[in-house]
Chains A and B, each alone.
Chain A
Amino acid sequence: MARITLDNLAHSYNPTPSSQDDYALKELNYDWEDGEAYALLGSSGCGKSTLLNIISGLLMPSQGRILFDGKDVTRAPTAERNIAQVFQFPVVYDTMTVHDNLAFPLRNRGRDETYVAERVQEIAKMIGMEDMLRKKARGLGADAKQKISLGRGMVRKDVNALLFDEPLTVIDPHMKWELRTQLKKLHHDFGHTMIYVTHDQTEALTFADKVVVMYDGRVVQIGTPEELFERPAHTFVGYFIGSPGMNVIPAKVEGTKAYINGSEIALGAGYAPVDGKVEIGVRPEFARLSESEGLPVKVRRVEDAGRHKIIRAEFFGQDINIIAGEDDPVRADMTRVTFDPARVNVYANDWRVAPQGGEAA
């Protein structure tokens, strides 16, 4: 297990990058703490797999360094880094038995057979495949195969980090929960540094201690699930996390007030004058329908999601989503929306602006 340091790391698939746009991964400095579980979250093509492949050594970064426990491994081949990786599609050695599959990484490193047998037993127990050890891997289902790949990653005790590249994509929904729970338990029991790439926010938020949100080759926010929810650092984070995502509305901000199309909105704190494209962001959870106060909106649709209702409204062509509780009234005369002032974030050019006098507690 190791602490992984990214130092000025960037990568472009273009050998002679001319502008920032050529970089699949833009410059990045970060320390991945030893023993933590991280999730790399982002939409397809945002650079999260690129970052993962650089860490595992399958890809050489165009600039910067990567250190494991302070040791520079930028140029070290995958095998020397001593990491394990589980891929999107289960990778198993078809012609081998489950036992041989699990033993493969150990045997390749010349460990003696008694140790191998003992270790394989332990891992098989961990992934719940003890009674399948003698079976050929070929005939097994996708979830069993993915468990084998996971087991193959865990079989070496001394791995520096366990990397997961959207490992649950091909797994049935009910198995997803089981495997994810198992992963969490493994992390809890053994304390490996884990990095989990996904585009599924539920997976990321339930699995990780810290979520790294990537957008367009850049890390836009690193934080706990709670931080991502309450104080999205970038409009993308607000939009990407949450269902539906945060309402982002163009506004004019003056002190403790924001103005949208002439309507006044109270803010939780005061802001210094901000330049550029100014917007306010409010999560649907903190918006409420009202009869008399707030922005006049046109309610277009109410979706009942069981535990709550999602109200799709429109304000001068701008979509506003509101989440109301199961028992909250939604009536025809409720045509206004109010926001909880403490939960309104201000964004300039898509990045969050800190209020004057520091963050509200």
Chain B
Amino acid sequence: MQQKTTNHKAWFLVLPVLVLVAFSAVIPLMTVVNYSVQDTFGNNQFFWAGLEWFQEMLSDERMWNALQRQLMFSGIILAIEIPLGIFVALNMPKSGFWSSFCLVVMSLPLLIPWNVVGTIWQIFGRVDIGLLGHTLEALGIDYNYTQDTISAWITIIVMDVWHWTSLVALLAFAGLKSIPDAYYQAARIDQANRWKVFRFIELPKMMGVLMIAILLRFMDSFMIYTEPFVVTGGGPGNATTLLSIDLVKMALGQFDLGPAAAFSLMYFLVILLISWVFYTVMVNLDKKGM
């Protein structure tokens, strides 16, 4: 006789997880979906709006501008942090006291809370009392992040590089450390120069961790809020208003819940899409044996 192998009571075992996920992710997300398709008035009055907010946001230059700034920000910090992180990792002592020392010192920025990082740089860059701002002014360089767009951008980019290059460097260092000595010895025997050692041994061996570093840094920078908000508050004007700053302004400043909800959903989808594309490319490269 056939034994019954399915037991629907087993579903109860996954119930706690489902409840947890529901309360931590699904229900809040659905609230946002709910807001995005309705117009909200006081007294909790809701009117069906359909896809109106989405259409409005898509045709709104404000979101496109914020997206453009956001992509530029993420692009620039990736272009700086990845090569710089690799460079730092390549030049770190490989073992001994100084290696541990470097690791600890480099981990420090990663441990500082984000709004503290913002505050540090906000004060550091001030022209009246900040070490950086004041010094630059004394040198006759025109630097004022509260009024000048370029200064503001340079400040938030340098701040992000200061805060996060360590992460890339630590990951790259871990990748480098895992390369057996025999590879370097073989390269010496094959008379490979320094560049070829990097290009054909170190870089391929680091590829895995670098991909993770790029993905992490991209996602984090794409969602960045606290640090630029503390330093520039999105200014001067809208010059450093990145996506999340714009979103908070819209949702909590102007209390435009409908458009802000539509905005968040699209923001979420963009991150999801880019991460997915990235992941797929990564996995395929691995499979093809690059």
* B182 CB, nearest partner CB in chain A, Å: 4
Contact among A83, A91, A95 with B182 in the assembled complex (CB-CB below 8 Å): A91
| A173 at interface by CB-CB < 8 Å | no
A221 within 8 A of B: no
Report B-chain residues with C-beta under 8 Å of the C-beta of A109: 191
Q: Cβ of A153: which chain B residues have Cβ within 8 Å of it?
A: 189
Given A93-B201, A95-B204, decide whether A108 and B196 contact each other with a Cβ distance below 8 A.
yes
Q: Is B42 an interface residue when CB atoms closer than 8 A count as contact?
A: no
Bound complex: CA A149 to CA B189 (Å): 11
Docked complex Cα distance between A95 and B201 (Å): 9
Scan A269-302; emit 1 where CB is below 8 A from any B CB, else 0.
0000000000000000000000000000000000
**Interface pair A108/B180, CB less than 8 Å apart:** no
Interface size band for A:
20 to 34
Given contacts A87-B186, A89-B182, A136-B289, contact A104 B204 (CB under 8 A): no
CB of B189 within 8 A of CB of A56, answer yes
B185, closest chain A residue (CB): A58
Partner of B188, one of A77, A96, A136: A77
Q: How far is the CA of A109 from the CA of B185 in the complex (A)?
A: 17
Chain A CB within 10 Å, residue with most, of B183, B190, B200: B190
**B192 contacts A by Cβ under 8 Å:** yes
Residues of B within 8 A of A139 (CB): 289
Give Cα distance in the complex from A88 to B188, angstroms. 16
Instruction: State how many angstroms separate the Cβ of B175 from the closest Cβ of chain A.
Output: 13
A223 within 8 Å of B (CB atoms): no
Q: How far is the CA of A109 from the CA of B196 in the complex (A)?
A: 13
Kindly provide the distance from the CB of A75 to the nearest chain B CB, expressed in whole angstroms. Answer: 15
Q: Contact between B191 and A105 (Cβ–Cβ < 8 Å)?
A: yes
Question: Of A84, A108, A138, which contacts B192 at CB under 8 A?
Answer: A108
With a CB–CB cut-off of 8 A, which chain A residues contact B189? 56, 78-79, 83-85, 105, 153
Note all chain B residues with C-beta closer than 8 A to A94. 204-205, 289
A87 in contact with B289 (CB, 8 Å): no
Check: A152 CB closer than 8 A to any chain B CB.
yes
Tell me whether B192 and A104 are in contact (CB under 8 A): yes
Contact among B186, B191, B196, B289 for A91, CB-based, below 8 A: B186
Q: Does B15 contact A (CB under 8 A)?
A: no
Pairwise interchain contact A78-B182, C-beta atoms closer than 8 A? no
Min CB–CB distance A260 → chain B (angstroms): 48
Q: How far is the CB of A245 from chain B (nearest CB, A)?
A: 31
A91 touches B183 (CB 8 A): yes
Q: Establish whether residues A88 and B182, one from each chain, have CB atoms under 8 Å apart when the complex forms.
A: yes
Q: Please report the C-alpha to C-alpha distance between residue A93 and residue B205 in the assembled complex, in whole angstroms.
A: 10
Residues of A within 8 A of B192 (CB): 104, 108
Verify if B254 is at the interface (C-beta below 8 Å from A).
no
Interface centre among A83, A85, A95, A152 (most CB of B within 10 A): A95
Interface 1/0 per residue, A72-107 and B, CB below 8 Å: 000001110001110111010111100000001100
Bits for B111-139, please: 1 = Cβ < 8 Å to A, else 0: 00000000000000000000000000000
The distance in angstroms between the C-alpha atoms of A149 and B183, with both chains bound, is 11
Q: CA–CA, A89 to B181, complex, Å? A: 11
When chains A and B are docked, how far (Å) is the Cα of A138 from the Cα of B196?
17
Q: A138, B188: Cβ atoms under 8 Å?
A: no
| B290 at interface by CB-CB < 8 Å | yes
Q: Do residues A79 and B290 form an inter-chain contact, with CB atoms below 8 A?
A: no
Q: Is the CB of A95 within 8 A of B200?
A: yes
Asked if A58 and B183 make an inter-chain contact with CB atoms under 8 angstroms apart, the answer reads no
Shortest CB distance A36–B (Å)? 21
Report B193 CB to chain A, min CB distance, Å: 7
CB pair B190–A108 under 8 Å, yes or no, is yes
Over the window 56-68 of chain A, the binary record of Cβ atoms lying under 8 Å from chain B Cβ atoms (1 yes, 0 no) is 1010000000000
Chain B residue contacts of A83, Cβ below 8 A: 189
Point out the residue from B186, B188, B201, B290 that lies within 8 Å of A149, measured CB to CB: B186
Cα A136 to Cα B290 with chains together (Å): 8
Q: Is the CB of B188 within 8 A of A79?
A: yes
CB distance from A70 to the nearest CB of B (A): 22
With known contacts A136-B290, A138-B290, A58–B200 Cβ distance under 8 A = no
Complex interface: chain B residues within 8 A of A91 (CB): 180, 182-183, 186
Residue from A58, A105, A138, A152 within 8 A of B289 (CB atoms): A138
Chain A residues contacting B180 (CB-CB under 8 Å) are 89, 91
Q: A115-153 vs B: 1/0 string, CB under 8 Å?
A: 000000000000000000000101100000000010011
User: Provided the pairs A108-B192, A109-B191, A138-B289 are in contact, do residues A96 and B186 lie with their beta carbons within 8 angstroms?
Assistant: no
Give complex CA distance A138, B188 in Å.
21
Which residue of chain B lies nearest to A86 when distances are taken between CB atoms in the complex? B186
Across the two chains, which residue of chain B brings its CB closest to A137? B289
In the complex, chain A residues whose CB is within 8 Å of the CB of B186: 85, 87, 91, 149, 152
A135's nearest neighbour on chain B, judged by CB, is: B289
A138 to B, closest residue via Cβ: B289
**A155 CB to nearest chain B CB (Å):** 9
Contacts known (A93-B200, A94-B204, A96-B200); A78 close to B290, Cβ less than 8 A: no
Q: How far apart sit A91 and B205, CA to CA, in the bound complex (Å)?
A: 12
Task: Collect the chain A residues with CB atoms within 8 Å of residue B289's CB.
Answer: 94, 136, 138-139
Q: How far is the CA of A96 from the CA of B204 in the complex (A)?
A: 10
Q: B151-182 vs A: 1/0 string, CB under 8 Å?
A: 00000000000000000000000000000101
A78 and B204 contact, CB distance less than 8 A: no
Chain B residue with Cβ nearest A85: B189
Give 10 A-B pairs besides A87-B182, A95-B290 with Cβ atoms closer than 8 angstroms: A78-B189, A79-B189, A87-B185, A91-B182, A93-B201, A94-B205, A105-B189, A105-B191, A108-B192, A136-B290
Chain A interface (Cβ within 8 Å of chain B)? 56, 58, 77-79, 83-85, 87-89, 91, 93-96, 104-105, 108-109, 136, 138-139, 149, 152-153
Top-6 shortest CB links A-B? A87-B182, A138-B289, A91-B186, A105-B190, A108-B191, A139-B289
11 A–B contacts, CB within 8 A, in A order? A58-B185, A77-B188, A78-B185, A91-B186, A94-B205, A94-B289, A95-B290, A104-B190, A104-B192, A139-B289, A153-B189
